[in-house]
Structure 1
Amino acid sequence: MNVLRSLFKLLLVPLTLGALSSAPAFAQPEVIIREAPPPMRMEPMPGARPGYAWDRGHWRWEGRGYAWVPGHWQPVRHGARWEPGHWQARGPNWYWIEGHWVR
């Protein structure tokens, strides 16, 4: 019986650590807002930068209101194109769709 208990404890630690580390570190909770975001700001796109894709600025929900996040460069992933993050209306709610690479 002690051998089974020791074996169980020995297997429990790696399984627990594996389960805790399996979620991506960048995962964020889904953002759902009832208030529509303000109109997009016109932001000049800088000149081309080899090896990078421009991620345009966007409005981010800060808990009590929207705050502007300026555009920035994303390192290119070969064979993929950058799909910028955006707000999407679904009924009376607004959902944030995170920017991502599309193959």
Structure 2
Amino acid sequence: MKTLSKFGVLAVLGGSLFLSACAGEYYVSDQPADVVYERPAPPYDGAVWIEGDWVWSGGRYVHQHGYWVRPRAGRTYVYGRWEHNNRGYRWHRGHWHR
């Protein structure tokens, strides 16, 4: 039976972490606290509010405030959400859905 050296094990682990990062699957042990801020008034009639989102930056999740946009014809905005599993917490970004 072939065994991996310490270097081989590190290379395999590093490769799996690299693939997770490429797929956008970033996990943290604790879900960040909700961010509270005042929503500005809509800039025009019919504007749709997009709630703040979490983005992976500098090795951690960073919150980006929400914003107003024009609605997209035939689409509905699906808000982002936290998912928890045995690897930790992962953010699923919001998106427009048909």
The two structures have a TM-score, normalised by structure 2, of 0.57
Query: What amino acid does structure 1 have at the position aligned with 2:37?
Result: E
Matched residue count: 76
Given that residues 32 and 93 in structure 1 are in contact (C-alpha distance below 8 angstroms), is that contact kept between their aligned partners in structure 2? Answer: no
> 1:99 maps to which residue?
94
2:71 is the alignment partner of 1:76: yes
> 2:33 maps to which residue?
39
Kindly name which structure, 1 or 2, has the bigger radius of gyration based on alpha carbons. 1
> 1:9 maps to which residue?
none
- Alignment gaps of 5+ in structure 1: 1-27
> 1:61 maps to which residue?
56
**Deviation at 1:55?**
1.3
Rounded to whole Å, the distance in 1 between the matches of 2:47 and 2:23 is 27
Q: CA RMSD in A?
A: 2.4
**Deviation at 1:77?**
1.0
**Deviation at 1:69?**
0.9
**Deviation at 1:38?**
1.4
- Alignment gaps of 5+ in structure 2: 1-21
**Deviation at 1:84?**
1.9
